[in-house]
Amino acid sequence: MAKQGKSPAKGDADARKVVASNKKARHDYHVEDTFEAGLVLQGTEVKSLRLGRATLADGFVDIDGGEAWLHGVNIPEYSQGSWTNHAAKRKRKLLLHKAEIEKIERKVSEKGHTVIPLSLYFVKGRAKVEIGLARGKKSWDKRQSIAEREFDREKQRELGRHLKGR
């Protein structure tokens, strides 16, 4: 008789497999809203991503003609690709709902807002990118964020020491 329920392999397929993340994004920007978008990719780009090769540091999103485009993301050429290899820094179309694109476009038209990629990952075998609607931080904001993070770390250390009885 067969077992009922999900098999472990099937549960793992639903998990996120993160390929790249933009660690400086949350340091340089106040992220106000996030969206998950699909990516239109070529075959060798998918193979390169599955090897964990991508850089989001210089990436940004542009809305053009009611479509969202991802610029500046570096997906290196697939090493075993032939003449079918892709350009490493080409612009890639993002798959978003029309209402999401309109919301992003309204916010970006306001002064100081931009859209940046936060992470690139696979879900159920499909390449997705998490984009964030963000506002740039000033240098004093960055210092304040660092100070708050250090204060929280010190608070956790003290709490740990107190619980251990030192």
What is the separation, in whole angstroms, between the first and last Cα of the chain?
Answer: 57
pLDDT at 1 (0 to 100): 44
Q: pTM to 2 decimals?
A: 0.71
Please report, in tens digits, the pLDDT of each residue of the chain (166 residues total): 444 444 445 556 568 888 888 888 887 888 899 999 999 887 788 888 888 878 888 888 999 888 999 998 888 877 766 666 666 678 889 999 999 999 999 988 888 888 999 999 999 988 899 999 988 877 766 788 888 888 889 988 888 888 887 6
pLDDT at 96 (0 to 100): 93
The helix/strand/coil state of 106 is helix
How many other C-beta atoms are found inside a 10 Å radius of the C-beta of residue 92? 20
How many other C-beta atoms are found inside a 10 Å radius of the C-beta of residue 2? 3
Q: Are strands 29-39 and 113-123 parallel, antiparallel or unpaired?
A: unpaired
pLDDT at 3 (0 to 100): 45
pLDDT at 14 (0 to 100): 67
The rounded distance, in Å, linking the Cα atoms of 43 and 33 is: 30
